Structure 1
Amino acid sequence: MIQEIPIAQLDPRQVKQLMAAEAAIQTNLAYTLEIYGSILKQSQGCLELRKKLRALQIKSAQSSTKGLNNLLGKVTSVPFMFGGKGEKDPEGTLVKAEALIEKNPDNIVAHEMLADAATHLEMKETVVFAYETIRKIHPTNIKNLKELGNAYLEFGNTEKAIETGNAILKIQPTDGDAVDLMKRASVAVAMNKGKWEESQDFRTQLKDESEAQALEQQAKAVTDSKGLEELIRQTYAKVEQEPEILNNYLQLSEYYHRYGDLENSIAWIQEARKQQSGQGDVSLEEKERLLTVEYFDNSIKEWENAHISNPDDSETKKSLENAISQKKLYEKSQLESLVQRYPNDYGYRYELGVNLFENEDYDNCLSHFQLAQRNAKVRLDSILYLGRAYSRKNFHDLAIEQFSLLKN
């Protein structure tokens, strides 16, 4: 067990160091981050310091271009999800989690490692903080919202637990786990007050008793996350027993995809591609690419919703723009690699041409649209984009020629 303490309860020498580091934030952020991290490593129960460090790490990461590698480096921490949990060495896991977060503050698994280790050390508020941080990174991650709701309940914050349950139901209206969370939170409210009739039970929170009953009935007919969690555990056991069987990796990826955890879905496709039978498998490469694009699309959607909710927040707008930029950069680099390795796959050439066109690189997209016409499936679209590209370059005669081909 580690007691959670504020900065004021640290060693006076550490407090003095922190004050000096804080004064240097504007002029030497790297120094501040180093001092914060060093002292946190010595005093892992200082949640106030952990929060300060995390805020600076996230701010620093948002201003850098490292975001493209956030997802692709995630697989390095995948084993933690099953075999390497924090109960064996929770204090060591805290340190490992912070090291991973230092490299990439958006590393979801690292924050989950932090939460898991903190749970074993009875650091309840740190557990809540870890899941709250994940929610900021991915507001609609159902798995995390459930963990957060349970963490709130464990910490005694029933109001936040009920609020989180409602947030889950807005995304997934028939989720049985969310209804169960709200039930348990409502019971806790009643027990705390001593009288059930004084509490705002989960039916009141759902506004209408008939609606609550309907949700309960629907939830019984829906395969909830617990079933998928069991399938994931069983399949991971198969991976450990028969690591050479490629299908087990693919099955894990599929289960995680259905679970709503795209990061782990991608990570297990990456693991599959490392196996001897998966190396050079073009279908696995394509699967990873499509899942990663889906990941970026979800991230963009989350930031768009956040921007709509708070249009005056410059940081949210900046994050949205960064998410869009990172997706374009990823797609461009992947498609360029695919075209280089598979020059006669004209479908990839068409996709790269579209990417270049959307990024206003009209010179370089022309040759790809010209070659992509050899693929019957994208021939007409390639002609259309070729005409548009000529038009953007003010080659109007050539543009008209392409549009005439479409007309005829």
Structure 2
Amino acid sequence: MHSFYPLSAPARWQESRPASYPNPDSSRPLIRWPSWCEGEPGANETCKKLLTTVRSRWCMRTCRWMGPTLASASLGWRSAANAETSRETGCRAVPPGRTMPEKALNEVAPHCREQFEKGMAAVKRQNFDYAIEILGGLLQLEPALYPAREALRVTQYKRIKEGRGFLSKMLGKASVSPMLARAQMLARRKPHEALVAAEQVLNADPNNFSAHRVLAEAAMEADLPRTALLSLEIVFKQNSGDRKTALLLADACAAAGQIGRAEKIYADVLKANPNDPDLQQALKNLSARRTMSEGGYDKFANGESSFRDALRDKEGARVLEQEGRVMRTEDTTREAVARLTAQLETDPGNVQTLRSLAESHAQLKEFRKALDCLKRIKESDAGADPTLDKRIVETTLQEMDQQIAELDADAVDFEDRQARLLNERQAVELEAARDLADRYPTDLQLRFELGQLLFKAGRISDAIAAFQKSQNNPHRRVASLGYLGQCFSRRGLHDVAVRTLEKAIGEKSSFDDEKKELIFQLGLALEAMGRKADAIEQFKQIYEVDIGFRDVAARVDAFYEDQLQ
């Protein structure tokens, strides 16, 4: 699917106007062809093709007004055909990602807004089949209309939840498979057609993760990152341990401007794959992109300012180069500290300068100065930020780690002092996590992190309470259930642990390390109940795919040795 815009037209086309042409705000197709198309090579056929499918933009070469998008599914044009059409019509085909940024309702034609209102009215009447038909048709005309995409997704789930809709009964797995295969085939070549096919699958089965993944890939290809995020959130909720899904979600977040979240996802994946150079480079690129965006240096890229504005002189270029480096030398970091300190004298309330100065002090291991900068931000209007609170805690812990590392290992009381500082560190970290979770009760990620710390500290009852809340976070549900199973086992409630772990395993589709750990813990719980035969079946599942995981090899080998005796 391509959009077009006019390049140039002969003067006679400018002077003459067809007797009948499509109104920009009309949804009715043209039925009378312009007389001045006669005699132009290929003009008649091209004019008919275009005017029967478009609604609101004018093409100078054939009929001037053309719609915002062409329904390539009905035209069946390929790239070569698009190029030919471009030569015939004098219109330039523009890649979808360039011309179809996601739109709000006020950015589309009035008849599209009317269709959207009709769809929402049908949802209110609980006429979900009709609502899906209207919203789906609207998205074929305006694939970038995000409110319609979001409303369609909600409606699909409502219809399934209410047990309504004959389509979901008629379209089983066998009947949606061809549509899914078509979407997969078109995702790269014709992403907008792939979006239509994927939505048809989701109309029948909104929980079809394969369709969501294909839709997300097609949306990213069409430069519709929010559309991709809508589906990736659903997939990631059920399969947070899958690397491919996580990386695709991170890319979508970055494309949608959510750089901080993208960095966090990449960092989480990097923890599981610390030696992956591609992940390391991607994380560095994201960090550099965030720095460029926050500093305003990216504005000249989209024409909002000139390169001269961003780099006033050679000294400015040197400063920008220093700030863009992820790993800076001590000398350049100290230069940055001096420059940022000077900036604060003229603009003491600049939050971004304070953040940069805090990071520079932290790189120099001057944690007390870094904390002073962060606390100044906390006292400002920008202080109500959980990420800032977490950064303060992280810097405090870094300072304590430095104190532990600087202890004299040859001192007589080394072990006592080290144990005391470690206990203090654990207490500070736990108290800070509890404070954050209490101050931001709706942030279930903070509740999950608190549960982890409580579990590590052996405070099992408190950990159970934390994980029972954090399981409502779709991104941490499976992990929370896994921890709950281990907590119940430690309390001796092995039967409860088994049920909880089985529930967590049932929500995992891929056999990744997270699922292996869940199965391993289930085996331990069954073993503690005396169900050794059932336990060994769990260990054998892991043994079949990963003999090196934990001590499953020793457990399985010991079981068979006992069988031989």
Q: Same fold (TM over 0.5)?
A: no
Question: What TM-score, normalized to structure 1?
Answer: 0.44
When normalised by structure 2's length, the TM-score is 0.33
Q: Which has the higher contact order (CA 8 A, sep 6+)?
A: 1
Instruction: From the CA coordinates, give the structure whose radius of gyration is larger.
Output: 2
Q: Which has the higher helix share?
A: 1
